[in-house]
Amino acid sequence: MAKLTFYGAIEGVTGSMYLLTTKQSRILLDCGLFQGRKEEEKANRKPLPFSPSQLDGVVISHAHLDHSGRLPLLVKEGYNGPIFMTKPTCDLIEILLKDAASLQERDAEWENKRRKRSGKQPVEPLYVEEEVDDVMELCIGVPYYHRFNITDDVELRFSDAGHILGSSIVELIVNESGKQKKLVFSGDLGNSQAALLRDPDIITEADILLMESTYGDRDHRSIEETLDEFETVITEASENGGNILIPSFAVGRTQEIIFRLGELYQKGKLHQKAIFLDSPMAIAVTEVYHRYQDIYNEEDKREIIKHTEPTRRNGQSLHSYLPVLRYSTSTKESMRLNNIDSGAIIIAGSGMCNGGRIRHHLKHNLWRKRSHVIFVGFQAMGTPGRTLIDGAKQMKLAGENIAVQAQIHTLGGFSAHASQSQLLDWLSHMKEADPKVFLVHGEESAKVVLQQAVKANGFDVTIPSLGQEVVF
């Protein structure tokens, strides 16, 4: 009998980690960081709840750190086997892990300066960039839909989850005593309204189904309403001459915003002088998106090709679709943008304004009445982004109290996650309501609401607890 143990993304949305044990194999599914409040992040420093050296394989659903961010710790604690993921995930994961290592090294350096002054012992970063290189040597990029054995008794297949580039629905097929049992992990299912990516693939059979529940208690605003408001803000800013700041997450959200601005440009509705992408990580991720345009959805791929001049067809990309896009790679180039007081759109990280280059752009623009700040992603409690959308009149940035006189906008339809209706529709394709469904990756309130809806549709559904074991 196969056994599944729940080790993460159970009491919240981060720290994805599940262990599949069969008679012959031990397979780890995801190895994500706990993210959020300091108390939650302390869990990252606890020893892993199993022996990494005894694992036979690791499978990663997609590149986001809450699904991949503890891989360097796994390798540091003794794992030296294959790490399976899609090919785009392989490219993205190196960017994200190295950025995470760099931030951890920097934070440890600052913390140790403080500790030295108070006579406390220094702390070590979770991992450093060289340890990311050790991870990358083990990563194996696999194409979508290729079914193959990763151990003698376990097969793997990735299908498209439509969440970010390379994101996957994971199917693990266990072969025991001439019978097959299938474990399906939805990963993070994408929002079918999103640009560039394909809709999540339909899976029709499973014995055990792990399904995400991030938006299990609500539906998103329609993309039509969201794009109408987006265009209105862009037009208003153009007419009054103000700058537009868009705090954006580097993976997925930034690329969608570039595409949506490209749509306005191609319709002649974008009059800003230039658009600046001011995030080294988002720039690197956008270049990865360019390399994998073959897995864009057909409609958006045709749209990009349609508006690419024949002489530039070999270079068709988000760049050719939005030719006014400019990269700001160096710190000097980023700071130069502070001299622009009107007519620019600046996309910068981080998405919740709790770090990154967006903070110095806020410092130079929040006090201007003509400026606009557009939030295109969820803003967690306690973050500067949440403070702004809740109506703050002042914000402390780089030691200065800055008056908030810019116009603040929140657009709710750009989520990269499936809504409740989309989750239920995806689940409805399971034949005869066969699988035992376990809801993961959601706050308790969202899981409880989704559990009731899933149960009403005739499924056996459970909210698992941390450390729970399921035999199938």
Residues 227-244 have pLDDT tens digits of 999 999 999 888 888 899
Residue 272 has pLDDT above 80, yes or no: yes
> In whole angstroms, what is the distance from residue 184 CA to residue 210 CA?
6
Residue 311 has pLDDT above 90, yes or no: no
Using DSSP's 3-state secondary structure scheme, residue 57 falls into strand
Per-residue burial over 316-330, b if 16 or more Cβ lie within 10 Å, else e, is bbbbbbbeebebbee
The residue to which tokens 């996957």 are assigned: 168
Please give the domain boundaries of the chain with CATH numbers for all domains.
Answer: 3-218+416-471 (3.60.15.10), 223-410 (3.40.50.10890)
Half-sphere exposure of 168 (CA within 13 A, CB side): 30
pLDDT at 35: 87
Report phi then psi at 56, rounded to 5. Answer: -100, -15
Per-residue burial over 293-309, b if 16 or more Cβ lie within 10 Å, else e, is bebbbeebbebbeebbe
Residues 368-427 have pLDDT tens digits of 999 999 999 877 777 888 899 999 999 999 889 999 999 999 987 888 999 999 999 999
Calculate ∠ Cα 191-229-369, nearest 5°: 125
> In whole angstroms, what is the distance from residue 453 CA to residue 417 CA?
18
Mean pLDDT along residues 112-128: 91
Mean pLDDT along residues 23-31: 97
Residue 314 has pLDDT above 50, yes or no: no
**Is this model's pTM higher than 0.75 or not?**
yes
- Mean pLDDT lowest for which of 25-34, 257-266, 369-378? 369-378
H or E stretch covering 98: helix 87-117
Residue 51 has pLDDT above 80, yes or no: yes
Comparing CA positions, the residue from 22, 20, 23, 296 lying closest to residue 166 is 296
Split at pLDDT 50, 70, 90, the class of 44 is very high
> In whole angstroms, what is the distance from residue 196 CA to residue 337 CA?
28
Environment class of residue 278 by beta-carbon count within 10 Å: exposed (0-12), middle (13-18) or buried (19+)? buried
Residues 127-158 have pLDDT tens digits of 999 999 999 999 999 999 999 999 999 999 99
Comparing CA positions, the residue from 357, 336, 339, 338 lying closest to residue 347 is 357
Residues 171-223 have pLDDT tens digits of 999 999 889 999 999 999 999 999 999 999 999 999 999 999 999 999 998 99
